[in-house]
Amino acid sequence: MKKFILIIFSLLFLSCQQKTTTDSRSFSEGEKVEKFSLSHSDKSEEWRVLGKTATISPDRKKTSITNPKLTIGAGKSKVLTLQTAEDGVAEFTVDEQTKRINSLTATKEVVIVQKDEKGRIVFKSTSEKAVYEGKERVVILTGNPIVQQGKNKFRGEIIRYFVDQGKIVVTGKVRGTTFPEEEEE
């Protein structure tokens, strides 16, 4: 039964080039799906959400996941991965038109890593809470956030990371260490 629900849920979100209609079957409030996986791919972006369990809202607009792992990328360039502690939780919504993630809020020892096309880490952060806003493609970190870009390290009350630009904005009790950029040979 749970596999049937997961298949229907996946088909609704993965039918990107066709107009989708909702199934007349409704989910029970709080119904859980084990070993949750949902992904989407189009010409400019792909993403995948994995989790230990997922609870899907009856209106299918919000999904809550335990032990979530989110991967967002544009081909092989700038792949961003977000993961929480094993008992961490994330809630996310998907835009019904574009099938892209509208928002994702993750809590409990959130670690975010972004790698370039060669697999090198260009950004790494830790925080207690991270909010990804899909339209702006920005991650907002709170709860003792720490970010690292290369050898540079920053702390503050709120850190915003603009994914496409690689730009970091730190506000509130800012502390950091910066190093001159090394030239590549």
Measured distance CA(125)–CA(131) in Å, rounded: 13
Has residue 184 been placed in a domain?
no
Has residue 71 been placed in a domain?
yes
Is 65 exposed, middle or buried (CB count within 10 Å of its CB: 0-12, 13-18, 19+)? Answer: buried
Has residue 95 been placed in a domain?
yes
Has residue 88 been placed in a domain?
yes
**CATH number, domain at 108?**
2.60.450.10
- pLDDT tens, position by position, 116-138: 888 888 889 999 999 999 889 89
Q: Is residue 13 scored above 50 in pLDDT?
A: no
Q: How many domains does the chain have?
A: 1
Q: Is residue 7 scored above 80 in pLDDT?
A: no
Has residue 183 been placed in a domain?
no
Range of the domain at 7: 2-16+31-177
Amino acid at 55: T
Highest mean pLDDT among 26-30, 60-64, 71-75, 101-105: 101-105
What pLDDT score was predicted for residue 80?
85
Has residue 26 been placed in a domain?
no
What pLDDT score was predicted for residue 104?
92
Has residue 182 been placed in a domain?
no
